[in-house]
Amino acid sequence: MMLAWQTLEYLEFAFARQALIAALCIATAASALSGIVVLKRLAFVGQGISHAAFGGIGVVAILGLSAAAGELVIFAFCLASALAIAGLTRSRTEEDTAIGIVLVATMALGFLLLGLRQSLAAPGGWEWYRSYISGSPRPDGWEAILFGSVHTAGQTGMWLSIAVMVIVLLTVWWFRRPLMAFVFDEVAAQASGVRTRAIRILLMVLLALVVVVGMKLVGVVLISAMLILPGAIAGQFTRRLLAHLAVTWVSAVLGVLGGLVLSFEFDLPTGPCIVLVLIAIFSLGAGWQLLLKTAARLIGR
């Protein structure tokens, strides 16, 4: 109780309210894709896409771009890596290998450019970056990129999150029928005239959008958790469509709300807090499954 009370005090501040709204939008957008990511085994793809952000950040650093241009460059990097993964997978490379290659390539590029920037302009080489994340004096750059922070959303971040949520929800709704066929059986979908390549690319674009806006809150390392865990949790509880969508959304929202409270109260990085809450829900689901199985065995006997 005391914890929640302190969080309410935090919400007097604009940055906290903005972070809250941004978090709810990201949770909603991510949950709309989460079921697809889990069923279509795209979990690791999210990881590859988010780490590509490092490459983008490196380019932003070396060119000294503004925040808005920076967003675009980072989005372009995430999208390009998503498409590169899809392209490589179509030829002779296995998907996990393709993701591994793209992930390390973009990260290496990012670190290289950041290092170059630092040696060119140190000290004060991080100024560009501070303005990029929020203008707030804390937390320090690396930690925020890696693990996310409530301080990095800001008003722009909030509006971007709202926009991405609207785009993702509308697109998924509009293409729900081909998406459903694609997820259930790609070969059969193709035989029914679904343009599976176009659908795959569309999914990559949506994933890149969610990753780019979600990254600042949850961090590069853990954003894919937002895409994996809600769908995985729903899979434990139900095999009915509406219930599945509901459980996915509720668990994503609980995850970000719980994570934000923990982050506010104990001044911890936001990403790990959100992920821990989601993992806790997932464990509950696993426990529930175990309980059901045990009960079934007892009754069956």
Partner 1 sequence: MSSPDSDSAATTAATATRGRAVTVRDVSFRYDSGVTALESISLNVPHGSRLGILGPNGGGKSTLLKLILGLIRPTRGRVEVLGLPPRLATRSRRVGYLPQRLHAAWNAPLNVRQVVAMTAALDVAPWRALPPEVQGRIDDLLDLVGMAHLARRPIGELSGGQQQRAFIARALVSRPRLLLLDEPTVGIDQAGQAQFARLLETIHRELDLTILIVSHDLRAIAAGCDDIAVLSRTLHYHASPEGLTPEVLAEVFHHDIAAFAHLRHGGQGHENHDEGGDGDRPATGNGEDRAP
Query: Rule CB under 8 A: which residues touch partner 1?
Result: 35, 38-41, 43, 92, 173-178, 180-181, 183-188, 190-194, 232, 234-235, 238-241, 243-244
49 and 207 Cβ atoms separated by less than 8 Å: yes
CB nearer to partner 1: give 178 or 219.
178
Q: How far is the CB of 140 from partner 1 (least distance, A)?
A: 35
CB nearer to partner 1: give 136 or 238.
238
CB nearer to partner 1: give 3 or 243.
243
Q: How far is the CB of 241 from partner 1 (least distance, A)?
A: 5
Question: Cα separation of 160 and 138, whole Å?
Answer: 21
* C-alpha distance from residue 120 to each of 67, 113, 116, 214, 253 (Å): 21, 10, 6, 30, 43
CB nearer to partner 1: give 166 or 241.
241
**How far is CA 22 from its chain centroid?**
12
Where does the chain have alpha helices with state H? 2-10, 14-39, 43-51, 53-63, 67-90, 95-121, 127-133, 141-147, 154-174, 176-184, 186-191, 196-218, 223-237, 241-266, 270-300
Question: Cα separation of 157 and 17, whole Å?
Answer: 12
CB nearer to partner 1: give 41 or 301.
41
CB nearer to partner 1: give 41 or 137.
41
Q: For the chain, what is the radius of gyration of the CA atoms?
A: 20
Q: How far is the CB of 14 from partner 1 (least distance, A)?
A: 38
How many C-beta atoms lie closer than 10 Å to residue 181's C-beta?
19
Question: Cα separation of 51 and 110, whole Å?
Answer: 10
Q: How far is the CB of 183 from partner 1 (least distance, A)?
A: 6
DSSP label at residue 93:
S
Q: How far is the CB of 203 from partner 1 (least distance, A)?
A: 15
Q: How far is the CB of 177 from partner 1 (least distance, A)?
A: 5
